[in-house]
Amino acid sequence: MADREVAGGGRRFPLPDFLQSVNLKYVKLGYHYLITHAAYISIPFILAASTQLSQVTVEDLRLLGDQLQHNLVAVVLCLALSVVLATVYFMSRPRPVYLVDFACYKPEDARKCTREIFMEQSSLAGSFTEENLAFQRKILERSGLGQDTYFPEAVMRVPPNPCMAEARKEAEMVMFGAIDELLAKTGVKVRDIGVLVVNCSLFNPTPSLSSMIVNHYKLRGDVTSLNLGGMGCSAGLISIDLAKQLLQVQRNTYALVVSTENITLNWYFGNNRSMLVSNCLFRMGGAAVLLSNRSSDKRRSKYQLIHTVRTHKGAENRSYGCVFQEEDNDGKVGVALSKDLMSVAGEALKTNITTLGPLVLPMSEQLLFLATLLARKLFKVNIRPYIPDFKLAFEHFCIHAGGRAVLDELEKNLELSDWHMEPSRMTLYRFGNTSSSSLWYELAYTEAKGRIRRGDRTWQIAFGSGFKCNSAVWRALRTINPAKEKQNPWLDEIHNFPVDVPKVVAIKS
């Protein structure tokens, strides 16, 4: 671009190209800082008002008292109304919900399944064609999963033994393992738990999983117990939202939220490729979370729940059918993933963040978004839609580890860095897709790395069948010191992470 010039005193001086000499990133940061700290601009006016007030004399106060005496009835009514309104406000405002602690189940080493063992077991099952064995190998090589994910015992047997008894055994192992660890970390007595919410999409026996927990831990008879099924990988955040609402009406109690999935009865033994993808991604895992509405728990809790935003696109047929459990042509049950899955997820994400954005984004980002929207809609200016910078609203991101493609798309669309994506990618690598519990393995990773500081905000976001996109926002109430953590699934190996995960990892024959 040619230098621009301006005349002055008979001479011509070249003007610099500001678009090239100024880093626009820092211009934006300066703009954000100015808007965010605009309140400080009012300090001189406050000081001026204070100076005026300091000049008020006794005579001025006497005249003010005379005025109040002449309007005594109005003053009393105003005071009474203020008291009533203040009472209504304090009685109706939402109770704060605190996350005391959480625990993620880490299976024993005997349950580890390398990529080579996975392919060997799939071959020995005797139900897959050679073409579909090659298809599973291709998916697994590009999945982003590592060599230490876990499978239940029944699936690892030769031949596999998927039955109700083995499925119950897996459910008990995962749920009780996570809850035992959580109770040990918090010291909470089971009799103090007033709310229990359990979510598992594909395994819903009778009695329910929540009843299984009530029976095992002998929870009290008036516990509010709920069991959520068929709600996909985002059901963990639905459970958090439901527990939050229940804690608004039950005083001084704890809510136990358990999120898991069951592999034993949902391993697909057919040859429908849209159903085989799940075999390659889903692994064994679960988490237990303890929430509280007791003000006395704020000091010892890790986080406070700030927002939950739920988006459901099930009214649209394309969204409703993109993750669908059904029988294949041979009568074998599996979960089919539609080719529209990524575009449906993108639409659900857009709707969710449109609702979440005004709640969390700084005013600077909201003004930029509004200005761009007005320019496009009202003045028909041909400019790209403005994508808000969510890094200004959150320090940490926990994105459901549903698969490498999902993480790649969100990294691109939200313009996140490798550092922001690290908890999600390492969780996928180390534990695989553990469905609704994956968000908690990711938060545990962030804690184990010593990244959580008091006041930090964390965004958990998950996708699920239906189709749903759900978000939860947490604010750290204290700095998390990994050395003082009693249990964490990452602690004994966190020094090995992060690791490089190639786009394709060949499986040894």
User: Which is the catalytic residue, given 312, 322, 470, 488?
Assistant: 312
| Active-site residue, 312 included | yes
Percent of the chain with pLDDT over 70: 86
Q: How far is the C-alpha of 358 from the C-alpha of 491, rounded, in Å? A: 36
Bridge-partner residues for 462, per DSSP? 470
Domains of the chain with CATH codes: 97-496 (3.40.47.10)
How far lies 332's CA from each of 128, 265, 336, in Å? Answer: 12, 12, 12
Angle in degrees, 0-180, between the axes of helices 438-448 and 235-247, rounded to the nearest 10: 80
User: Which is the catalytic residue, given 227, 262, 271, 433?
Assistant: 433
Amino acid at 256: L
| Active-site residue, 433 included | yes
- How would DSSP label each residue in 132-148? HHHHHHHHHHTS---S-
Max distance between CA atoms of the chain, in angstroms, equals 99
Percent of the chain with pLDDT over 90: 72
User: Which is the catalytic residue, given 104, 113, 200, 233?
Assistant: 233
* Radius of gyration (C-alpha) of the chain in whole angstroms: 28
User: Which is the catalytic residue, given 400, 420, 470, 488?
Assistant: 400
Question: For residues 499 and 373, which has the higher predicted lDDT (pLDDT)?
Answer: 499
- Lowest mean pLDDT, pick from 98-107, 251-260, 354-363: 354-363
| Active-site residue, 496 included | no
Q: What is the mean pLDDT of residues 15-20?
A: 38
pLDDT at 167 over 60: yes
Residue range 187-245, pLDDT digits in tens: 999 999 999 999 999 999 999 999 999 999 999 999 999 999 999 999 999 999 999 99
- Per the omega criterion (within 30 degrees of 0), is the bond before 482 cis? no
Q: Phi/psi of residue 470, each to 5°? A: -125, 145
pLDDT at 372 over 70: yes
- How would DSSP label each residue in 116-133? HHHHHHHHHT--S-HHHH
**Are 203 and 209 contacting, i.e. CB atoms less than 8 angstroms apart?**
yes
Q: How far is the C-alpha of 263 from the C-alpha of 269, rounded, in Å? A: 12
Model confidence band, residue 177 (pLDDT cutoffs 50, 70, 90): very high
pLDDT at 398 over 60: yes
Give me the sign of the Cα torsion angle 290, 296, 298, 299: negative
> Two tokens at 177?
């393992």
Q: Which of 471, 488, 446 is nearest to 240 (CA)?
A: 471
Residue range 467-490, pLDDT digits in tens: 999 999 999 999 999 999 988 999
Q: Phi/psi of residue 446, each to 5°? A: -60, -40
> Two tokens at 455?
């006041």
Q: Residue 459 belongs to what H/E stretch?
A: strand 457-464
**Are 163 and 120 contacting, i.e. CB atoms less than 8 angstroms apart?**
no
Q: What is the mean pLDDT of residues 310-339?
A: 95
Locus of tokens 């857009």: 350
Q: How far is the C-alpha of 386 from the C-alpha of 325, rounded, in Å? A: 37
pTM for this prediction: 0.85
- Lowest mean pLDDT, pick from 233-237, 361-365, 400-404: 361-365
Question: For residues 142 and 72, which has the higher predicted lDDT (pLDDT)?
Answer: 142
Burial (CB count within 10 angstroms: exposed 0-12, middle 13-18, buried 19+), residue 331:
exposed
Question: For residues 161 and 74, which has the higher predicted lDDT (pLDDT)?
Answer: 161
Q: How far is the C-alpha of 215 from the C-alpha of 318, rounded, in Å? A: 41
Q: Which of 440, 96, 423, 431 is nearest to 258 (CA)?
A: 440
DSSP H helices, 142-300, are: 153-156, 164-186, 209-217, 235-247, 273-281
How far lies 336's CA from each of 225, 270, 407, in Å? Answer: 31, 11, 20
| Active-site residue, 396 included | yes
Q: How far is the C-alpha of 103 from the C-alpha of 112, rounded, in Å? A: 20
Residue range 285-314, pLDDT digits in tens: 999 999 999 999 999 999 999 999 999 999
Question: For residues 381 and 70, which has the higher predicted lDDT (pLDDT)?
Answer: 381
| Active-site residue, 113 included | no
Q: How far is the C-alpha of 182 from the C-alpha of 440, rounded, in Å? A: 13
The pLDDT score that the predictor gives to residue 2 is: 41
Contact residues for 99 (Cβ-Cβ < 8 A; gap 6+)? 289, 290, 291, 301, 302, 303, 304, 305, 474
Q: How far is the C-alpha of 410 from the C-alpha of 413, rounded, in Å? A: 5
User: Which is the catalytic residue, given 104, 200, 396, 470?
Assistant: 396
Q: Which of 202, 226, 229, 228 is nearest to 214 (CA)?
A: 226
If you average pLDDT over every residue of the chain, what do you get?
88
Contacts of the segment 219-222: beta carbons below 8 A, 24+ positions apart: 219/190, 219/191, 219/193, 220/190, 220/191, 220/193, 220/194, 222/194
Q: Residue 224 belongs to what H/E stretch?
A: strand 224-228
